[in-house]
Structure 1
């Protein structure tokens, strides 16, 4: 068995791990690189392995940094099965076509407004490419394993990061390997905690928050304080949020705060039809949630859904107080960038960053305290209040990951630290070596390891 690291090394995006076993090839995750231009350019470079030679893909979950390269892989000749949980398939049916549509929309905007050096700017792939790749999906029934490749048994278990997110465990004749994907939080207000795992001979482990703990205070209280201050100024609260996962948690929090009288009853706009569709998936797979059916319905009705681009544009001409939740979560694209252009320059408004901001993204620039951020070729001043709510992250921190690892009955021969910025990954390495005494390795991009 041989493992190749084709992404998520030294960064939190582009997750791709290639397993070679018995003359066959299996790709675990198939994500897009995001953030720094150097990383994004990898999406346009040829894949280090011929797509037609890959026999199957397994997805840990539906977020674009784990699934968003699939339409391109299929367009380049991949014809194998895409294995995942049923909820991941349901979410990919929403997320992947939307990803293709956004790329087409952004290329069209760049060409129309001449804010591109490319003649013309082209999308990485189209909505049609994404729709076609969905024909390759073969979701697994909950609790059932399958032969991913001949002699390689696949098991999925709930990881608590989002609906459908899974730990991926592969068992061969002589060795096993476990991929953590993104690990959720044991006390997430919406999702049930990550499943306990028995471990494996080898472990590929995320490290997004490996260098810092989440705050101990309750972020909904911090969110309430920001909303109260901004509403008193007559301002607008703009919240970039992933359409799947954080948008639902934010709606839950705002609903609870309003019900408790902790924030004023101001309008809430969910400017993401995709997030509204994702809520239907959450309702369908409610067995993964802590919420009752009634609570799910209340959360779904907590905001006005902004449907058309025209309605979205009209929001930018309104004054507050109001709350706008819009994708994407790191402000890399989508409707939220137009809201940032409209509202970031004014001191009465607020920008709330609800989760991790990868290096090189607009969200990271805003979080750093920068005075401006580049949007559509222009420098947009940031005079609005900026608040970051790390405790609303869907990723476990270092302590929560260590708690999960201590439940293993099989100690890994080697643990590979991925899906983290270099300082976070190295901090996670040190935690595991010092506190658990395990052998740990931080792989580099395109490294290949023989799992002997």
Structure 2
């Protein structure tokens, strides 16, 4: 068995791990690169092998940095099955067409306003191509072993993080590798904690927050603070939120705060039809999360859902206290970008960042305190208050990653850190060396191949 790191190495995006065994090839995750331009350009690079030579894809979960390259892979000739848990398949049926639509929209906008260096600007793939890729999905249950290619078996266990998120144990004659996927938190307000890892020779573990622990902040109190002080100055709270996971956590908290009358009775808007559809899925996959039926209902009805583009545009004209939750979570695209353009220049408003911000994204620039950000080819002044709610992260922090790893039933031959910025991965490598000095641990390198 050989593994090649085609993404998710030295960065938190673009996760793609190619496994080769006896002439067959399996891709573990198939993510889109996001953030820095040098990373985004990799989406346009040809893979080091023809996609039609890949026999199957196994997904750990639905987030675009793990699934978003699938339509591009299919466009280039991949015709094999895509294995995923049922919730991951259902989420991808929303996320992938939306990704294609956004790319078409961005290309159209760039061509219309002439701010692209490419003539014409083209989408990486279209909504139609994304929908066509969905036909290749094969849904499997947790703990149900399956054989994506001859001689190789895979078994999923729950990873927390979002609906359907899994760790994948890959076994073959005489060897095994465990891919953690993105691990959730032990005390997440929505999701159940990750299951203990299964024994494996090789462990490939995410390291997103490998250099820090989440602050023990009361998320409800922090959100109450932000909404109350913004409303007091007559402003609007704009929240870039991932349509899967963070949007639901925010809706759950806002419903609770309103019910307990801890925030003013101001209008709440969910400007993401996809996030609204995802929220409804929490009723379907009760075994994945902690919420009761009543809490699910409250979350689903917490905000007015904005469906049409016309309604979305009208939101930019409101001049009274309100909360707008809109995708995408790192402000890389989607409707929230238009809201940032409208509300960032006014000091009365607040931009609330509620999740991880990858290097180079607009969310990262806002978090870094930049006073101007580029939107649709022009610079927009940032006079609004910018604040973060780090306690809403759906990723395990350093302590939780170490605790998960420490529950391995037996010592692995090798631990390799993936899906992390270099500093975070290096810090986690040091921490693992201190806790498990006999365990070899290294950090994955982009395009590196090794024998297992």
TM-score range, shorter chain: over 0.9
In structure 2, the residue matched to 1:144 is 144
Does 2:433 align with 1:439?
no
Aligned residue for 1:6, secondary structure, equals strand
After TM superposition, the structure 1 = structure 2 runs for residues 220-369 of structure 1, keeping only pairs within 5 Å, are: 220-369=220-369
In structure 2, the residue matched to 1:207 is 207
- Please give the alpha-carbon distance, in whole angstroms, between the structure 2 residues aligned to 1:431 and 1:185: 19
- Please give the alpha-carbon distance, in whole angstroms, between the structure 2 residues aligned to 1:255 and 1:113: 40
Aligned residue for 2:148, secondary structure, equals strand
- Please give the alpha-carbon distance, in whole angstroms, between the structure 2 residues aligned to 1:450 and 1:422: 23
- Please give the alpha-carbon distance, in whole angstroms, between the structure 1 residues aligned to 2:436 and 2:266: 49
Deviation string 1:358-388 (CA, Å, 9 cap, x unpaired) is 0000000000011111111111111111111
Deviation string 1:206-226 (CA, Å, 9 cap, x unpaired) is 111111110012122111101
Unaligned runs of 5+ in 2: none
- Please give the alpha-carbon distance, in whole angstroms, between the structure 2 residues aligned to 1:287 and 1:319: 41
CA RMSD of aligned residues (A): 0.8
In structure 1, the residue matched to 2:34 is 34
- Please give the alpha-carbon distance, in whole angstroms, between the structure 1 residues aligned to 2:265 and 2:87: 33
After TM superposition, the structure 1 = structure 2 runs for residues 388-407 of structure 1, keeping only pairs within 5 Å, are: 388-407=388-407
- Please give the alpha-carbon distance, in whole angstroms, between the structure 2 residues aligned to 1:405 and 1:110: 45
Unaligned runs of 5+ in 1: none
**How far apart are residue 143 of structure 1 and its match?**
2.8
Aligned residue for 2:7, secondary structure, equals coil
Where does structure 1 differ by over 4 angstroms across 4 or more consecutive aligned residues? Answer: none
In structure 1, the residue matched to 2:62 is 62
Aligned residue for 1:78, secondary structure, equals coil
Does 2:189 align with 1:189?
yes
Of the structure 1 ranges 28-37 and 403-412, higher mean CA displacement relative to structure 2 is found in 403-412
After TM superposition, the structure 1 = structure 2 runs for residues 79-118 of structure 1, keeping only pairs within 5 Å, are: 79-118=79-118
**How far apart are residue 401 of structure 1 and its match?**
0.7
Contact 2:142 2:158 in 1 (8 A): no
Aligned residue for 1:409, secondary structure, equals coil
In structure 2, the residue matched to 1:122 is 122
In structure 2, the residue matched to 1:382 is 382
**How far apart are residue 233 of structure 1 and its match?**
0.6
Deviation string 1:410-429 (CA, Å, 9 cap, x unpaired) is 22111111111110010111
- Please give the alpha-carbon distance, in whole angstroms, between the structure 2 residues aligned to 1:17 and 1:380: 38
Does 2:165 align with 1:162?
no
Aligned residue for 1:42, secondary structure, equals helix
Scaled by the length of structure 1, the TM-score of the pair is 0.99
Deviation string 1:60-110 (CA, Å, 9 cap, x unpaired) is 000000000000101111111100100000000000000000000111111
- Please give the alpha-carbon distance, in whole angstroms, between the structure 2 residues aligned to 1:252 and 1:168: 29
Scaled by the length of structure 2, the TM-score of the pair is 0.99
- Please give the alpha-carbon distance, in whole angstroms, between the structure 2 residues aligned to 1:204 and 1:288: 23
Aligned residue for 1:255, secondary structure, equals helix
- Please give the alpha-carbon distance, in whole angstroms, between the structure 2 residues aligned to 1:323 and 1:113: 30
In structure 1, the residue matched to 2:13 is 13
**How far apart are residue 297 of structure 1 and its match?**
1.1
Contact 2:169 2:198 in 1 (8 A): no
Aligned residue for 2:104, secondary structure, equals helix
After TM superposition, the structure 1 = structure 2 runs for residues 43-54 of structure 1, keeping only pairs within 5 Å, are: 43-54=43-54
- Please give the alpha-carbon distance, in whole angstroms, between the structure 2 residues aligned to 1:144 and 1:280: 26
- Please give the alpha-carbon distance, in whole angstroms, between the structure 2 residues aligned to 1:260 and 1:215: 24
Does 2:63 align with 1:77?
no
**How far apart are residue 114 of structure 1 and its match?**
1.6
- Please give the alpha-carbon distance, in whole angstroms, between the structure 1 residues aligned to 2:13 and 2:188: 22
Does 2:17 align with 1:4?
no
Contact 2:142 2:155 in 1 (8 A): no
Deviation string 1:117-168 (CA, Å, 9 cap, x unpaired) is 2111111100000001001000103331111221211000110010000001
**How far apart are residue 308 of structure 1 and its match?**
0.6
- Please give the alpha-carbon distance, in whole angstroms, between the structure 2 residues aligned to 1:56 and 1:149: 7
- Please give the alpha-carbon distance, in whole angstroms, between the structure 1 residues aligned to 2:188 and 2:273: 24
